[in-house]
Structure 1
Amino acid sequence: MLRLNHITFACAEPARVAEFWTALLDGYSAEQSGQTYFGRGDGPELFFNQVEKSPTIELPIHLDVNVPDREAELQRVLELGGKLVETKSHAIGELSETWTVMRDPEGNGFCIQTPHNPLPNRYVGNVTFSCAEPIALGRFWAAALGWPDEPIDASFVRPLLDAGMDERETTSFYATRETPTSRPRLLFQRREKSRPASYPIHLDFRTDDREQEIERLGGLGATVEETKSDAERTWTVMRDPESNPFCVE
C-alpha cells in the first residue's frame, strides 16, 4: 500500500522556495545537497528539488493552507515573499467560506483559509486536485492509499448540505482522508486545468514492494511512465487516470 513520503516542488531556486514554505508552516528546512532541500514541521514532509518545470500558473495540484486567522495571515505571507492573487467567497444559505489565492516566490499557487473549527497552528489542510471527474479520480486515490472509499467526507460536506446545498452538487467534488482527524485531506474538484509536461508539484510515495505496487496501481487505472535510479534508490514515475504524475519507491 502507498504511504505519502513527500509533497515535491520542482524549483529553479530550491533554497528560496524551501525557506518560504517552512516559514509559512512554522517548520524548518534541511539541506540535502545544493540542489535539494527538505521542509519539515507539523504535517507531511515537503521536498524541494532543482529540476526544470513547465512554465504555468494554472496548477492541476495545489495546497490549501489552514491558518487560525486568514486576514491576519495575509500580511505575514507577503512579508515572507508571497504574492496576493485574489480573495474569493462562496455562500450557501447561512454558511459562507472565504479563501485567498496566493503565489509562492516561484509562482506556485496556493490558498490560505481558516477552517470552521480552526487550530492554533498553520498546516496543509488539503492537497487539491483540479480534475474532470472528481469522484472517479478520488476513488482511484482512495483505493491506491487504502483510505475509506466514501463519495464525500461527511465532516467536509455535512455543513454544506445543512446550509442548503443541493445534494446533486456534491458530485462536483470528492474529499477523503485516512482517518477523521488525519491530514492532509485529498480534495478533488471539478475544474479543468492545463496539464503541463512537467508538474510544479507532485506527490511521492513509499511502499514495501515497489514492483508489486506498480502492478496493483495499474489494475486501478494508473499507467507507468518510466523507472529511474540513482546511487541510493529506484523509483517509478506513474500517472493517475487523469494523467497527474506521482512517484513510487
Structure 2
Amino acid sequence: MSLQWQCIIVDCADPQELGPWWAELLGWRITHTSEKEVVLEPPLGSPQDGVSPDILFVKVPEGKSVKNRLHLDLRPDDQAAEVARAEALGAKRADVGQDDSSSWIVMNDPAGNEFCILRAFTPEELATL
C-alpha cells in the first residue's frame, strides 16, 4: 500500500490555545508552531512515537457550528480519573444523544470539539491485545 496516515487536522480559531491544551491532556509534545498551526506528536521514544498520527491544529476563520463528524476516542487506564483531569483542564461533559448505559463519556474541549473518554480495558481484554 502506498498511503500512510500522517495526521488528523482539527480546525480551530486559536491553535496556540487549543494545541497546548491537547498536548497537556494527551501528554504529547508540540513539534511545530506558527501563527496558523500547531503540531502535536506522541512523546519521543514512546510506543506511539512514529506510529500514531500527528494532530495538526489549523486556524480557520469560521467557528464550530454543528456536532463534529469525526472525533477522538481516548482509552484510559482509569476513566473516572481521566474525566476529572480533563474537566480540571477545562473540558466539559457533552450530550450528543448517548444514552445512560453508554460506557463512554462524551466531552467538549475548550473550543467545543467533541471527544470521548472510553472505559478502561478489562484485564481479560488486555490479555488479548
The TM-score, its normalising length taken from structure 1, stands at 0.41
| Residue 201 of structure 1: how far off its partner (Å) | 1.1
The answer as to 2:127 corresponding to 1:246 is no
Answer yes or no: is the 8 Å Cα contact 1:130–1:192 preserved in 2: no
Distance, in Å, in 2 between the alignment partners of 1:192 and 1:245 is: 19
| SS in structure 2 at match of 1:140 | helix
Q: For residues 199 and 135 of structure 1, do their structure 2 counterparts lie closer, same or farther at Cα, with a shift above 3 Å needed?
A: same
| Residue 225 of structure 1: how far off its partner (Å) | 1.1
Could you tell me which runs of 5 or more consecutive residues in structure 2 were left unpaired when the two chains were aligned.
119-129
Could you tell me which runs of 5 or more consecutive residues in structure 1 were left unpaired when the two chains were aligned.
1-25, 27-120, 158-169
The answer as to 2:2 corresponding to 1:133 is no
| SS in structure 2 at match of 1:187 | strand
Match of 1:177 among 22, 28, 41: 41
Match of 1:223 among 92, 110, 118: 92
Report which of the two structures shows the higher radius of gyration computed on alpha carbons. Answer: 1
Paired residues for 1:123-162 under 5 Å: 123-148=4-29, 150=30, 153-154=31-32
Answer yes or no: is the 8 Å Cα contact 1:228–1:234 preserved in 2: no
Paired residues for 1:1-249 under 5 Å: 26=1, 121-148=2-29, 150=30, 153-154=31-32, 170-178=34-42, 179=44, 181-226=50-95, 228=99, 230=101, 234-249=103-118
**The structure with more strand, counted as a fraction of residues:** 1
Identity of aligned residues (%): 29
Distance, in Å, in 1 between the alignment partners of 2:12 and 2:53 is: 18
Distance, in Å, in 2 between the alignment partners of 1:204 and 1:193 is: 25
Distance, in Å, in 2 between the alignment partners of 1:221 and 1:229 is: 23
| Residue 135 of structure 1: how far off its partner (Å) | 1.4
Distance, in Å, in 2 between the alignment partners of 1:228 and 1:240 is: 21
| Residue 130 of structure 1: how far off its partner (Å) | 1.1
Answer yes or no: is the 8 Å Cα contact 2:12–2:57 preserved in 1: yes
Distance, in Å, in 2 between the alignment partners of 1:142 and 1:236 is: 20
| SS in structure 2 at match of 1:217 | helix
Distance, in Å, in 2 between the alignment partners of 1:192 and 1:145 is: 26
| Residue 245 of structure 1: how far off its partner (Å) | 0.4
| Residue 122 of structure 1: how far off its partner (Å) | 0.7
Answer yes or no: is the 8 Å Cα contact 1:221–1:241 preserved in 2: yes
Q: For residues 211 and 228 of structure 1, do their structure 2 counterparts lie closer, same or farther at Cα, with a shift above 3 Å needed?
A: farther
